[in-house]
Amino acid sequence: MTHARGMKWWGWGDESVAFTHEDKPDLGPFIKRHIDLDVDQAAADRVAFEDLPIPEPSLPPSLRVALQGAVGADQVSTGPLDRLVHARGKCLRDLVRHRRGDIGRLPDVVVRPASEEEVEAIMRAALGVDAVVIPFGGGTNISGSLEPPEDETRAVISLDLGRMNRVLEVDGASRIARVQPGVFGPHLEEQLNARGWTLGHFPDSFTHSTLGGWIATRSSGMQSDKYGDVADLTRAVRGVTPAGILATRPVPHASTGPSVREMVLGSEGRLGVITEATVHVHRLPERRTILGYLFPSWSEALAAMRDIAEGEASPSVTRASDAPETKFSFATKKDPSLLDRVKSGALAAYLKRRRGYDLDAMCLSFIGYEGTKDYVAAQRKLVGEIVGRHGGLCIGSGPGELYDQKKFDTPYIRDYLLDRGALADVSETSAPWSALPALYDDVMAAGRRAFDDLGVRGYLMCHLSHSYHAGACLYFTFAFKPSGQRDSLEEYDVIKSAIQQTFVDSGATLSHHHAVGTEHARWLEEDISAPGVAMLRALFEGIDPGGNLNPGKIIGPRPEPAESSVAERRAGGTLG
Amino acid sequence: MTHARGMKWWGWGDESVAFTHEDKPDLGPFIKRHIDLDVDQAAADRVAFEDLPIPEPSLPPSLRVALQGAVGADQVSTGPLDRLVHARGKCLRDLVRHRRGDIGRLPDVVVRPASEEEVEAIMRAALGVDAVVIPFGGGTNISGSLEPPEDETRAVISLDLGRMNRVLEVDGASRIARVQPGVFGPHLEEQLNARGWTLGHFPDSFTHSTLGGWIATRSSGMQSDKYGDVADLTRAVRGVTPAGILATRPVPHASTGPSVREMVLGSEGRLGVITEATVHVHRLPERRTILGYLFPSWSEALAAMRDIAEGEASPSVTRASDAPETKFSFATKKDPSLLDRVKSGALAAYLKRRRGYDLDAMCLSFIGYEGTKDYVAAQRKLVGEIVGRHGGLCIGSGPGELYDQKKFDTPYIRDYLLDRGALADVSETSAPWSALPALYDDVMAAGRRAFDDLGVRGYLMCHLSHSYHAGACLYFTFAFKPSGQRDSLEEYDVIKSAIQQTFVDSGATLSHHHAVGTEHARWLEEDISAPGVAMLRALFEGIDPGGNLNPGKIIGPRPEPAESSVAERRAGGTLG
């Protein structure tokens, strides 16, 4: 189950899977209309692997010997493809640059430990020669959490956790399991399901990402409304740090100072290497269903999600697309499309005449339920009443089942577009319920302004992906065909930055579950304030004074003394 | 609403409230039987206030001027009683020492800011002359989180937040409220209830503790099963740190590195002064009820709570007493006692003959429900089924209502016993469900061994106070009459340490919700591991390099180089 080996170096996922428009009659015309892209013309060549400028690794012989001593010679790899696949994650910038042959600073070596003791030996070897350690799970991060700094002069070790992939123990009475960090989503569920349990964590990256990666980036999954985000699911962590083996206890709540467990969550390898986690498990539910709903407008859909989050229903999934995403969803359906049926059939007539729907404003929603038969029935009823109050109606389980089956294929669309010369990416955030309508309007306006400024036709769409008591996650997706007037990544930056800046300007967060990495680091201080950044810096520098652990992620190097800095504050610059 | 002024310097709470056995016919004999204490003989004199050796404050004139400039002269107090009340919290050791006249290192001055700006000015003044700042909410902490170090030579400022006591804003659409930190529980609920909302946080200290104190110690309340612990309730924090104003955003979830919000939770003043929090609020429930249940044994009661926590019921309160605590509860009932009725009546006959109960092993439980009428009815039914499977039965709402009315009076019992020469205290922990039965047995055995070693008759009892998916909180209470052979606090230490040591030896945590302070600090490394302590140290020292903020709490000073230390590890001692 070392899926990462099978990952494309130039794109997402398995070589054997690809997205296509050919079985989706509405999609080609939709793409042509909205981003002026002819899907029948493959446009963008990518550099052949043989032509990539892969340098020789810079690995001190003593380090090679130490690493081979730690994990065995066959688990120490300096092969070009291995180093290339471990060089970056899968953010749009990563894919574009790799496809161009701009491969950046590759790690010098990939090592694959099989145990915590081996991780400890690697850490000791690395710190002994002042090398850099970058933990690697599935390599799916889309925020730049994996790439070595361009100018890194020390040896760089990619520490691939793929061999540490077992469920070590299920404590059924406590409903927790001890799990190794390198296990991929499907393999983890397979091991748990065999004993009647599930973790219930299903991010879009599920098939190619790992438990350790989820923890290191504070991941959320599709059913996190019920099971909790990975921060809720993770009861305890173990890890190898420069200060020794960190081990927190799998207790349900503790008052032991600031939570050390929470410091590991989202730490992106800056504190060490996660070697084990104790996570919540749930019994496989008796029933599981995802129903489709339609709402007359985005504002009604949002309001319904808000009311559901307050009420006594506890659905496992709450998802609501805006009108542009609803249109896109309908355009990706196979023949005969759902939109055809809606538009041509009795349902459309009913929606328009009896319910007063404007079909252009209509929003598609999915709500999931899990539990016993009675519980699911009661939840559906409670949700149905709220949906009805907001002018919505249930369209049954067909669309939801289809969505459920296809949800992990979404990331492949990016490669499909890249192959044809178009760029697509996502930005997600969270905010209080009261802020969401204006946040949405502001992001849509900022995106459209960015498209206009660049002179490109672009498409921007959104869905609410997770609901909480006090707010929700909005997940934006955009696509455009670069103008050809400048570097396409420059144009990408204009759009992505406009959206991210609008998030932080609107009181929202820079990311709900995609992490900071290098892509979002410049908005961190606006999000968590300068003292918040100082707290992270104090933590990282205190545990890793040499900056050996995934340097440059989350927060950059300490700023020059001229700027406001912790050093200055220590000297009394701010309050002292 | 500055309740702290009304707090006794020698005991808990209001002067006007006291616990008595006089209306509880079974209690005197119960206490005589179990800890050999004659409740009719007041035994322990306490030193009169006038005889306390209160030293002059050591307050540099420049600091006094700066503080007066910050908050106004009338909010800067060096009065003996004010300093005495702010010197310590309310742990047993605090009460015993105060009553003896052993008042320790008093703060030199009490200041009462009315705004974040004033807190900032105090912090600037304090850091400017290298003074110590100890934030003070309600002064109810029972883990030694408030006392200045005995040998502190710098000026010590107690920063009383009691004037910052307002609900600043309720965002009803988002179900969050911005609240100042110094508000006491009842005043907070009063302000929220007036608008139809509740925080839902009801720790035993509720009447005398503050929101800021709850956050600074990771508090839990009686209804936290439904509303969440304070870490769940707190969506965002603002605070004054030496690095400037920390401000996190009230977003429902974020992937912005390790959670800075979580670093403030439980920080006990070591990072700065909390000046505002954004917290979840819930609409006042239509129905609220607490039902009493009886179980045939502790193991069945525990198993029932575990099953309830897994099921589709979501009660607001789950509490189950062991047999000793059940007996104590019955002994504190007013005439005619419930036990009388149970023992003499048809219920006892039914329990013994038809249900096979051993009345000596019987356990009392309270389970609370909140919500709409239908929801409460459905929850009761689900819980009832589980209770039945474990041999339990519902005894109606009477005992629960009584418990609900009296729950905040429990802390007064300690003073009642101290007045009579007996000591009582509590220790609480949490652990996975599977660990609870052995943990309970081990703690009871350790407590009994400690009583035996000391040659005292003691009573030790326990209840489960909070249930979670993966475990629960066990809350132990003990009481004994010191032997008179040695210092009573020495004997107290033997018992308290035996219990705490058993917690950490059994894989449980040193505290579920009472915090670390100084009382629990020596078990911290065993609980969160040495690297966990190193992470806390890195955080505290990075933000507060001068050690001006509540020094000595959670973790002590950096150990000498001879011992294992972060400094040593940095030099390669552990892994480098």
B210-254 pLDDT tens trace: 999 999 999 999 999 999 999 999 999 999 999 999 999 999 999
Domain CATH number, residue A334: 3.40.462.40
The reply to whether A502 touches chain B by the CB within 8 Å rule is: no
* Residue A353 DSSP symbol: I
* Per-residue confidence band for A273, with pLDDT thresholds at 50, 70 and 90: very high
Q: Are residues A122 and A210 in the same domain?
A: no
Domain boundary among B242, B264, B283: B283
Report the gap between the CA of B548 and the closest CA in chain A (Å).
10
| pLDDT higher than threshold 70 for residue B341 | no
Q: Are residues A427 and A495 in the same domain?
A: yes
Contacts of A199 in chain B (CB under 8 A): none
A478-489 CB burial, b ≥16 within 10 A, e <16: bbbbbeeeeebb
Q: Which member of B529, B543, B572 has the closest CB to residue A247?
A: B529
The reply to whether B543 touches chain A by the CB within 8 Å rule is: yes
Contacts of A429 in chain B (CB under 8 A): 251
- Looking at residue B336, what is its pLDDT? 60
Residue-wise pLDDT tens digits, B30-59: 999 999 999 998 776 799 999 999 999 999
| Between B75 and A350, residue with greater pLDDT | B75
Amino acid identity of residue A527, one-letter, is D
Distances (CA, A) of A388 to A125, A295, A300, A385, B33: 62, 9, 10, 5, 64
A530 contacts B252? CB cut-off 8 A? no
* Per-residue confidence band for A558, with pLDDT thresholds at 50, 70 and 90: confident
Q: Which member of A263, A532, A555 has the closest CB to residue B535?
A: A263
Residue B304, in any domain of the structure? yes
| pLDDT higher than threshold 80 for residue A83 | yes
Residue A576, in any domain of the structure? no
Domain carrying residue B302: 287-409
Q: Are residues A216 and A268 in the same domain?
A: yes
Report the gap between the CA of B531 and the closest CA in chain A (Å).
5
Q: What ipTM goes with this model?
A: 0.95
Residue A575, in any domain of the structure? no
- Looking at residue A400, what is its pLDDT? 81
* Per-residue confidence band for A1, with pLDDT thresholds at 50, 70 and 90: very low
Residue B457, in any domain of the structure? no
Distances (CA, A) of B370 to B227, B288, B374: 11, 4, 10
The reply to whether A529 touches chain B by the CB within 8 Å rule is: yes
Q: Which of residues 247-266 of B touch A (CB under 8 A)?
A: 247-260, 262-266
Contacts of B500 in chain A (CB under 8 A): none
Domain CATH number, residue A493: 3.30.300.330
Question: Which H/E stretch holds residue B374?
Answer: helix B373-389
Q: Are residues B238 and B322 in the same domain?
A: no
C-alpha–C-alpha distance, residues B319 and B235, integer Å: 27
Q: Which of residues 303-332 of A touch B (CB under 8 A)?
A: 306, 310, 312, 314
C-alpha–C-alpha distance, residues A561 and A557, integer Å: 12
* Per-residue confidence band for A350, with pLDDT thresholds at 50, 70 and 90: confident
Report the gap between the CA of B266 and the closest CA in chain A (Å).
4
Q: Which of residues 197-236 of A touch B (CB under 8 A)?
A: 217-220, 229, 231, 235
B242 contacts A554? CB cut-off 8 A? no
A253 contacts B473? CB cut-off 8 A? yes
> How many CB atoms sit inside 10 A of residue A393's CB?
17
Q: How many CB pairs under 8 A join A and B?
A: 375
Q: Which member of B123, B253, B512 has the closest CB to residue A220?
A: B253
Q: Are residues A148 and A59 in the same domain?
A: yes
Domain count, chain B: 4
B234-272 CB burial, b ≥16 within 10 A, e <16: bbbbbbbbbbbbbbbbbbbbbbbbbbbbbbbbbbbbbbb
- Looking at residue B371, what is its pLDDT? 95
Q: Which member of A231, A243, A509 has the closest CB to residue B566?
A: A243
Q: Is A440 labeled as catalytic in the residue annotation?
A: no
Q: Are residues B93 and B177 in the same domain?
A: no
> How many CB atoms sit inside 10 A of residue B172's CB?
15
Q: Are residues B217 and B233 in the same domain?
A: yes
Contacts of A256 in chain B (CB under 8 A): 266, 509-511, 516, 520, 524, 527-528
Residue-wise pLDDT tens digits, B76-132: 999 999 999 999 999 999 999 999 999 999 999 999 999 999 999 999 999 999 999
Report the gap between the CA of A196 and the closest CA in chain B (Å).
14
Residue-wise pLDDT tens digits, A295-320: 999 999 999 999 999 989 999 999 99
Q: Which residue of A has its CA nearest to B224?
A: A253
B510 contacts A256? CB cut-off 8 A? yes
Q: Are residues A191 and A269 in the same domain?
A: yes
Q: Which of B357, B369, B440, B475 is catalytic?
A: B475
Q: Which of residues 129-168 of B touch A (CB under 8 A)?
A: none
Q: Are residues B71 and B140 in the same domain?
A: yes
Residue B237 structure tokens:
């924090």
Cα(first)–Cα(last) distance of chain B, in Å?
54
The reply to whether A351 touches chain B by the CB within 8 Å rule is: no
Domain CATH number, residue A136: 3.30.43.10
Q: Which member of A244, A268, A516 has the closest CB to residue B574?
A: A244
Choice among A2-6, A456-460, B165-169 with the minimum mean pLDDT = A2-6
Q: Are residues B277 and B292 in the same domain?
A: no
The reply to whether B123 touches chain A by the CB within 8 Å rule is: yes
A128 contacts B256? CB cut-off 8 A? no
Q: Which member of A251, A543, A554 has the closest CB to residue B508?
A: A251
Q: Are residues B195 and B154 in the same domain?
A: no
Picking from B91, B143, B251 by the largest number of A CB atoms within 10 A of its own CB, the best residue to mutate is: B251
Domain boundary among B160, B193, B228: B160
Q: Are A232 and A277 in contact (CB under 8 A)?
A: no
Residue-wise pLDDT tens digits, A505-553: 999 999 999 999 999 999 999 999 999 999 999 999 999 999 999 999 9
Question: Which H/E stretch holds residue A479?
Answer: strand A471-480
A219 contacts B253? CB cut-off 8 A? no
A254 contacts B259? CB cut-off 8 A? no
Report the gap between the CA of A92 and the closest CA in chain B (Å).
19
A263 contacts B262? CB cut-off 8 A? yes
Amino acid identity of residue A453, one-letter, is D
- Nearest Cα residue to B219 out of B259, B274, B169: B274
Residue-wise pLDDT tens digits, B468-512: 999 999 999 999 999 999 999 999 999 999 999 999 999 999 999
Contacts of B471 in chain A (CB under 8 A): 174, 250-252
- DSSP alpha helix (H) spans, B277-352: 298-310, 323-331, 338-344, 346-349
Domain boundary among B103, B135, B160: B160
Q: Are residues A372 and A343 in the same domain?
A: yes
Q: Which member of B250, B306, B470 has the closest CB to residue A432?
A: B250
